[in-house]
Every structure is written in C-alpha cells, then in structure tokens.
Amino acid sequence: MSEPAAVTLARHFSKLSIDQIPARHLADAKALIADWFAVALAGSRADSGAIARRFATETGGREEACIVNGGGARVPAVHAAFANAIASHSVELDDVDILALFHFSPPVVAAAVAVAERAGSTGAELLTAVVAGCEAMARLSDATNPSLRDRGYHTTPTVGAFGAAVAAGVLLRLDEATMTSALGLAGAQASGLMEMYGPSMQKRFNPGPAARNGVTAAVMAQLGFTGAATILDGPRGFCRAFSDHYDAEALLRGLGTEFPIHIEYKAYSCARPIHNGIDCALDIRKQIGADRVDGIRSITIRRHSAWAHYHQIPRPATHHEAQVSMNYSVGVALREGAALLPQYTEEKVHDEAILRLSEMVTVVPDDSLPRGVSCLMTVETADGASFSSQVDHPKGSIANPMTPEEAAAKAHLLGDPVIGAAGVTRLLERISQLETLPRAAELMALAQGSGVKAAEKAFASAC
C-alpha cells in the first residue's frame, strides 16, 4: 500500500532548498512578493484592511511580526498573517492562478512574511517558503478543481490553509513527520465559501483565516501536536470532502522535478474573470472614440459557460459589489477608459452615466470560446454601427504579461500614497536582492516607511 500523499509532500517540502528551485520560479516568487507588498499597502487603507489591522492590534499578544501600515506595531505572527492577508485582498488587485480560481499571495505570502519575522529567517529562506507554499496550493487546486469551486467552496482559503502551513513549516524548519502533522492540522481548518459576492466585505475576509490557520498548524505541529497523515487522500480526507471529481494523482505528479506554479497579475481592480471584459471594453472604446461612448445602445458579451453565470450585477450597491460586477466594470471602462482604484469608489458606483452602460450588458453563454475566461463583446451605437472585440488572455496573464515597467508602475500607484515613491523604490530594490538578504524582516520594516537601519533595529527587537 502506498504511503499517504501528505507524507510524500511533507518529505518534499521539508527538504526543499533554494538551490533546488529553478531560476524562473525564484524570479516569479520575487515578483509575487513585490506585488503582494504593493497591494497590501493599498489594502491597508481600505475599510476592510483597516478593520483587520484594528482587530489584530486590539487583540494584542507577543510582539513577533508587523502589520502592513500599522505604524510599526508588532503582534503575534498569527494575527499579522490574518490582518495582512485581508489587506492584500482588499482592493482586488492581488495575483491569480492561470484559471482564475484562486490567489496565491494573500494566504502564502502573508503567512510567510509573518513567520519569517518570528523566526528570524533569511531572504533565501523566505523565497523558498513562498515557492513551497505556492506549489502546495497549486497541487491541491489541480487535484480538486473545478469541482471544488462548483460545489460552492472558495479555492483561495480552502487550499490556502495548506499553502500557508507549508510556507510557515519551511521557515520553522519542520522535519518530515512534523510537516505531515502541519498538513493534517491545516486540513482540519480548511474552509471558505463562494457565497461571498455582494455589497459586504465577505470576500475580503476569506484569505485571513487561511493565512492564520496555516501558521497555527505549523506552530502547533512544531510544539508536538500531531495531525492526520491521511488528510488529503483518505476516505474522509480533503479531496473527497471538497470535490466530487478529484484527481489524486495531481497531488504528486512530477513532484521534485516540476513546480506547477503559474502566476498571473492584475492590471485592473476587480475580480480576475472580469478582466477579459474590461480589455474588450477598452479596445472598443478606442475603436468608437471616447466622445461617442454616450451613443452606445447595446452591449453583448459572449462568455464561456464556465464563468457566464458569475459576476452579473447590473446595479452594484457598494464598491465591494462593483469589484465583482462584470456589468459595472465594463461600463466604467467604456466611460472612463480605466478600471483601477479611482473607478471603484462609492461615488462612482452611483454614477448614472456608468450605470446606464452597466444595465445594458447582456451575457450570453458560448462554449465555442477557447478559454473559461474568454470574452467576445459586441457593442452597437445609436447610428447602427457595430464594434467587436475578443480577448482570451487578459492583460497581466502569462500569455499577455505586464512589462517590468508596468509592474513597477502598479507598485508605485498602490504604494506611493502610503510610504512615498522613494520608499516603494527601496522596497522593490531589496526584494530584487532577496536571496542575498540576511534578514527577511527588513522588507516589512521598509513597508512601514522605515529605512534600512530601522529595519535592522526591528529585526534585532524581534530576536
């Protein structure tokens, strides 16, 4: 009888070192960490990010790790991971996997950065932990999706708890047996529902428990609490419980030689499956001309049935709901030629000129489209003219990537209002050198607007 998948994975992750990771995945991890910090900085100013920060600071406890934009306040690593994960999911600009099913960084990077501060980890150790956590998330999603999503579970928190546990376990240097227990304890805490769209902050909350629970699982395992080795592929394990049609072989396929991590980035401040529609809208706006947008009389979007029935919200009640509305996002992109934070405000949500376009959107399922997130948009104007655009790979995807300059511009757009342009530049520089940093805690100190000497002082106090 073969050993449980969790044991095999634990052996792999507990022995993983930076020299075993291909250069392109290390580069991806740096880009992911840079994107996470930028998005978390902006998210720390959002209402949901601010509430999470307040919860963490008011709960208090042992000073182990910083909260993004928390003014240097230090809290237990579990609370920092929780608050920072929520902040990094609060402006809908965080990374996404290639199928638009989950976000890597809110659970994994939030947990890794917090535990790196607690453990006094090096930059190389942080990089290794982030790659490991992302690999764990990718393998679990590959094994259980799309059934997991279709059953109503949110992939980011359900598989994110495992990713966070692995990332934390690598930094805590758990051995095979202890890492196995961490996976078991993560499975005991895996949760998260797709019933999260609407005017509330519900969606922003989901990565928080995943990051916190992953850190809890790793620390508890380190203290000697044992977990079930059969948590993934056992008869009542994660795969069977969360998916009607699972592929257990995906848990281990190519383990040790392949890292099935495919990370994409967001160019727009809304749910990823909407981005194709925004790209179509921006293309059509160029075809029509900005001065003729008011003459639009119909908007039809052909969308693959995998996503056709999601994100149809003609009149969002809040900016939270607008960020998961295809209708609104298309309307604001046509009207303003952009879909970033300034386009998703409470004032904009009630702009009748935008809502006129939003309510025009008709979505038609079309399985002939090549990808689940593909969109084919047709717009007709009052004079009878028709304009069309099809986008299969949105801006920021692997097939249509953002340039390094565009990624840096995004980081400055999000981070400059919080720590200044010079602060963002310094943070990005240090992340680019991450494998050489003796103290990963320096990154969080820089994200507070501190200089390198302050970062070193923060590290010393953490030890």
pLDDT (average), residues 117-126: 98
The domain locations on the chain are: 5-264, 272-391
pLDDT (average), residues 53-71: 95
Model pLDDT, residue 124: 98
Which tokens sit at 39? 């998005």
pLDDT tens track for 261-300: 999 999 999 999 999 999 999 999 999 999 999 999 999 9
CA atoms within 13 A on the CB side of 56: 36
In degrees, rounded to 5, the angle at the alpha carbon of residue 122 between the alpha carbons of residues 121 and 127 is 100
Cβ within 8 Å of residue 382, ≥6 positions away: 295, 296, 297
Alpha-carbon span 423 to 447, nearest angstrom: 7
pLDDT (average), residues 212-225: 98
Model pLDDT, residue 218: 99
For the stretch 51-67, what's the b/e string if a residue is b when 16 or more beta carbons lie within 10 angstroms of its beta carbon?
A: bbbebbbeeeeeebbbb
pLDDT tens track for 235-265: 999 999 999 999 999 999 999 999 999 999 9
At 266 the three-state DSSP class reads coil
pLDDT tens track for 178-201: 999 999 999 999 999 999 988 899
Alpha-carbon span 431 to 32, nearest angstrom: 10
State yes or no: pLDDT of 457 exceeds 60.
no
Model pLDDT, residue 197: 86
pLDDT (average), residues 21-38: 98
pLDDT (average), residues 16-25: 97
Whole-prediction pTM: 0.92
pLDDT tens track for 420-452: 999 999 999 999 999 999 999 999 999 998 644
Superfamily of structural domain 5-264: 2-methylcitrate dehydratase PrpD (1.10.4100.10)
Please state, as a whole number, how many other Cβ atoms lie within 10 Å of the Cβ of residue 152. 10
Determine the length of the chain. Answer: 463
Alpha-carbon span 183 to 213, nearest angstrom: 11
pLDDT tens track for 339-370: 999 999 999 999 999 999 999 999 999 999 99
Model pLDDT, residue 279: 97
Mean of pLDDT over the chain: 95
Model pLDDT, residue 463: 32
pLDDT tens track for 363-415: 999 999 999 899 999 999 999 999 999 999 999 999 999 999 999 999 999 99
Model pLDDT, residue 100: 87
pLDDT (average), residues 38-52: 97
Report percent pLDDT > 70 for the chain.
97
pLDDT tens track for 145-173: 999 999 999 999 999 999 999 999 999 99
Model pLDDT, residue 461: 45
Tokens 């979505």 found at: 363
Higher pLDDT, 1 or 104: 104
> pLDDT category, 319, cuts 50, 70, 90?
very high
String of DSSP letters for 270-316: S-GGGHHHHHHHHHHHHHH-GGGGGGEEEEEEEE-TTTTTSS--SS-
The domain defined by 272-391 carries CATH number 3.30.1330.120: yes
Q: Where are the alpha helices (DSSP H) in 317-403?
A: 319-322, 326-336, 346-349, 352-360
Alpha-carbon span 132 to 16, nearest angstrom: 8
Which run of H or E residues covers position 318?
none
First to last CA, the chain: 45
